[in-house]
Amino acid sequence: MAIIRILSDRVANQIAAGEVIERPAAVVKELVENSLDAGATRIEVEFRHGGRSLIRVEDNGSGMSKDEALLSLERHATSKLIETSDLDRLHTFGFRGEAVPSIASVSHFELQTRPAAAAIGTEVVINGGKLVHIRECGIAPGTRITVSHLFNSVPARRKFLKTDATESAHIIQTVRLYALASPQTAFTLVEDGRVLFQSPVCSTLLERVGEIFGRQMTADLLVVGMEEQGVALSGLIGKPGVNRSTRHELLMFVNRRPVDSRTLNYALIESYATSLPKGRYPVAVLFLDLDPALVDVNVHPAKREVRFRSEGAVRGFVIRAVLQRLREFGAPAPVVAAEGRAGSSFAAGLNGPVPAGAFSPSANHSAPSVPLPDQPSAARVMAQPVRSFAALPPRTGDSAAPVFGSAGFQLPPTASIQSAPSLIAPSVSSPTVRLGGWRFLDVAHGDYAMFEAPGGIVVLDRRSAHERVWFERLQAQFAKGEVASQRLLFALPVELDAIASALLIDHLKFLQAHGLEVAEFGRSFFRIEAVPSWLVPEDAELFLRDVIGLMREGRLDLKKADLAHEELARLAAQKAVRLPGRVNETEAMALLAQLFACTQPHTSPSGRPTHFELSRGELARRFQR
């Protein structure tokens, strides 16, 4: 029978480290938060080898006396709160008192600190949770913490760390988040002796975003601000048409704390329901400020998850604020349900029942295909719903349907199909397809082709059909390693965040083998030098960002080549389709024949049906014959 024992402080701290300190970036997060809580106006972060060998965080905050420095190394020692009720008045990042002793228990930990009133500082050194020495030291007012040999005392956790590039990317992203959260604090980030970014004190958030993410990004952002009865939303949102394939550039802050909030994310996504195509996500850096009593930050050890007392009221408030700014810019405004009207009170939602919100996440919103003002042509296209592609004029050289040179199916005797060279690709091995008795009728609403068949009437979704044809064609190309590409006369510059850059560097050879040639051009800067023959150059940057989105989600695993090829082909098929507005009978019949030559003609790569049939019996029944 197992005997119940009380764990020693050292073991308890190491267990807590598993919850609080998951990777080097978590160390940086906890130490930077402590610096900000200490009132620092200057923070310098240095790390080496992805944070494995060294992490140093130095600030000019209030510092600590010798007794306070020793007490800070005790578990649950904190200056942030005394009673549980203090959580309702919390204005600091940290409050549990677990981070510093947890870090010290799994590393070589050196703390040097000095308050401004003291003439000399204090140095405390701990190795793997064991005190090495305490002595006086010379240091400027503030605190310097150096963490080296992280997880050496816990080898099991160390082996789960990713590559240095990946861990470095997470550290860089963490520092950037807190730099955004505190524009009034100067930040310096140093990796392996090289300064990655150095941002002075900034007067505005837009200025700090430009310092961190580049001026190119700030040109695509709108300033948003709204306040209702003590609750305020401020920050930057992307213009309609500026979008990403993942949610990774939705940066949310609650009372300056970076958070992952489903409530805030979905509220923002719903606000853009009529401004972005389905499956695309906006770019945003948003700050929600409210009474600490209305939000619970004590949900997760890492404090990245929060719960609101009234999720519906917060959601409705964010939707109203974002919609108001989008209307001012000129985006089409959806009809808002009564629960989400601008006249409704935020405070009423906190005291009464949770409102249903302005939208339903599953609602199918639609909008007219109207170009948005002040947007470049590519952004106008991306800002329209998917159904508007049929209304776009064909590009020079585009054909109505891509053709498999010798796919094996038989077309009507009069078939004469011409395609642009960039659309012609190696054929997919397929059985012979005969369409005897089929007759093309017309195209309805731009997207749907109708055919008279011996058994009834067939309605074909042209986009879904093209995607299925392209998907199987590209899969065959990827499997054979025969991907045609075209070099660009002028390389396209792309600026990425740290995590995206690390992922891209790991996949450069993979992308080159699939026709997309990207070269590194400095830290977080790249150049697209060649694109696959089926990709229009002006869509190359957006396609690359979508591919990186697949990498972030773990869907392009180089260890699983077949699955990686399938995911890339599925994304590429969506980009390769360019529907012309008009279709003649020959082109429509060619598309139909190509579709039925596929191995899975009934669904698109994303699972949507490509066609359906109204049988003669069904038609007769409906007309009561």
- Encode pLDDT of 149-188 as tens digits: 998 878 878 888 888 888 998 999 899 999 999 999 999 9
User: For the stretch 127-142, what's the b/e string if a residue is b when 16 or more beta carbons lie within 10 angstroms of its beta carbon?
Assistant: bbbeeeeeeeeebebb
Q: Can you give the residue ranges of every domain in the chain?
A: 9-205, 220-351, 485-532+537-576
Q: With cut-offs at 50, 70 and 90, classify the pLDDT of residue 90.
A: low
Tell me which residue of 127, 133, 164, 180 sits closest to 48, measured CA to CA: 164
Secondary structure, 3-state, 529-551: EEEECCCCHHHHHHHHHHHHHHH
* 616 membership: H or E segment, kind and range: helix 616-622
Bridge partners of 528, per DSSP, are 492, 518
Q: With cut-offs at 50, 70 and 90, classify the pLDDT of residue 137.
A: very high
How many angstroms separate the CA atoms of 407 and 476, rounded?
12
Would you state the pLDDT for residue 389?
A: 28
For residue 426, pLDDT beyond 60: no
Of 98 and 398, the one with more pLDDT: 98
Of 372 and 177, the one with more pLDDT: 177
Mean pLDDT of 261-272: 91
With contact defined as beta carbons under 8 Å apart, do 253 and 233 qualify? Answer: no
Would you state the pLDDT for residue 177?
A: 92
Tell me which residue of 156, 199, 153, 149 sits closest to 27, measured CA to CA: 149
Q: Is 83 exposed, middle or buried (0-12, 13-18, 19+ CB in 10 A)?
A: exposed
Q: Virtual CA dihedral for 409, 410, 412, 414, nearest 10 degrees?
A: 100
Q: First vs last Cα of the chain: how many Å apart?
A: 80
Q: With cut-offs at 50, 70 and 90, classify the pLDDT of residue 64.
A: very high
Would you state the pLDDT for residue 258?
A: 92
DSSP state of 223: E
Token output for 128? 């793997």
Backbone φ and ψ of 255, nearest 5° = 50, 45
For residue 344, pLDDT beyond 50: no
Options 3.40.50.1000, 3.40.50.720, 3.30.450.20, 3.30.565.10; which CATH number does 9-205 get? Answer: 3.30.565.10
With contact defined as beta carbons under 8 Å apart, do 289 and 238 qualify? Answer: no
Sign of CA dihedral 335, 339, 342, 346: negative
Of 114 and 577, the one with more pLDDT: 114
Would you state the pLDDT for residue 24?
A: 93
For residue 234, pLDDT beyond 90: yes
Bridge partners of 191, per DSSP, are 47, 194
Token output for 325? 């700014």
Would you state the pLDDT for residue 496?
A: 83
How many angstroms separate the CA atoms of 531 and 523, rounded?
22
Pairing of strands 221-228, 130-137: unpaired
Amino acid residing at 87? L
| Residues of the chain above pLDDT 70, percent | 76
How many angstroms separate the CA atoms of 332 and 138, rounded?
62
Tell me which residue of 585, 579, 604, 597 sits closest to 400, measured CA to CA: 579
How many angstroms separate the CA atoms of 375 and 101, rounded?
52
For residue 9, pLDDT beyond 80: no
For residue 272, pLDDT beyond 80: yes
How many angstroms separate the CA atoms of 274 and 383, rounded?
8
* 467 membership: H or E segment, kind and range: helix 462-480
Lowest mean pLDDT among 87-101, 223-237, 281-295, 296-310: 87-101
Of 82 and 424, the one with more pLDDT: 82
* 96 membership: H or E segment, kind and range: none
Mean pLDDT across the chain:
78
For residue 378, pLDDT beyond 60: no
Other beta carbons within 10 Å of 230:
12
Alpha helices in 230-376 (DSSP H): 262-271, 311-329, 346-351
* 552 membership: H or E segment, kind and range: helix 540-552
Q: What is the pLDDT of residues 34-50, one digit of tens each?
A: 999 899 999 999 999 99
With contact defined as beta carbons under 8 Å apart, do 397 and 420 qualify? Answer: yes
Would you state the pLDDT for residue 285?
A: 94
Amino acid residing at 13? N
Mean pLDDT of 22-27: 90
67 three-state secondary structure? helix
For residue 577, pLDDT beyond 60: yes
Would you state the pLDDT for residue 429?
A: 40
Would you state the pLDDT for residue 365?
A: 36
Lowest mean pLDDT among 50-59, 331-340, 348-357, 416-425: 416-425
Q: What is the pLDDT of residues 290-337, one digit of tens each?
A: 988 888 876 766 667 888 988 999 999 999 999 999 988 875 544 444
Would you state the pLDDT for residue 322?
A: 94
Of 82 and 118, the one with more pLDDT: 118
Write down the CATH number for the domain with range 485-532+537-576. 3.30.1370.100
Q: What is the pLDDT of residues 479-524, one digit of tens each?
A: 888 888 899 989 999 888 777 888 888 889 999 989 999 998 877 7
Token output for 480? 């054979």
The CATH class of the 220-351 domain is alpha beta
Lowest mean pLDDT among 199-213, 233-247, 402-416, 440-454: 402-416
Sign of CA dihedral 117, 121, 124, 125: positive
Sign of CA dihedral 182, 185, 191, 194: positive
Other beta carbons within 10 Å of 199:
20
Would you state the pLDDT for residue 213?
A: 76
How many angstroms separate the CA atoms of 529 and 543, rounded?
14
With contact defined as beta carbons under 8 Å apart, do 41 and 184 qualify? Answer: yes
Q: With cut-offs at 50, 70 and 90, classify the pLDDT of residue 556.
A: confident
Q: With cut-offs at 50, 70 and 90, classify the pLDDT of residue 624.
A: confident
pTM of the model: 0.65
For residue 108, pLDDT beyond 90: yes
Would you state the pLDDT for residue 329?
A: 87
With contact defined as beta carbons under 8 Å apart, do 270 and 364 qualify? Answer: no
Q: How is 389-442 classified by DSSP, letter by letter?
A: GGGSPPPTT--SS---TT-S----TT------GGG--PPPP------TT-EEEE
Would you state the pLDDT for residue 22?
A: 84
Q: With cut-offs at 50, 70 and 90, classify the pLDDT of residue 340.
A: very low
Would you state the pLDDT for residue 184?
A: 92
236 three-state secondary structure? strand
Bridge partners of 485, per DSSP, are 532
For residue 131, pLDDT beyond 70: yes
Q: What is the pLDDT of residues 383-422, one digit of tens each?
A: 333 332 233 333 333 333 333 332 333 333 333 333 333 3
Would you state the pLDDT for residue 155?
A: 80
How many angstroms separate the CA atoms of 316 and 324, rounded?
12
Backbone φ and ψ of 440, nearest 5° = -75, 130
With contact defined as beta carbons under 8 Å apart, do 158 and 107 qualify? Answer: no
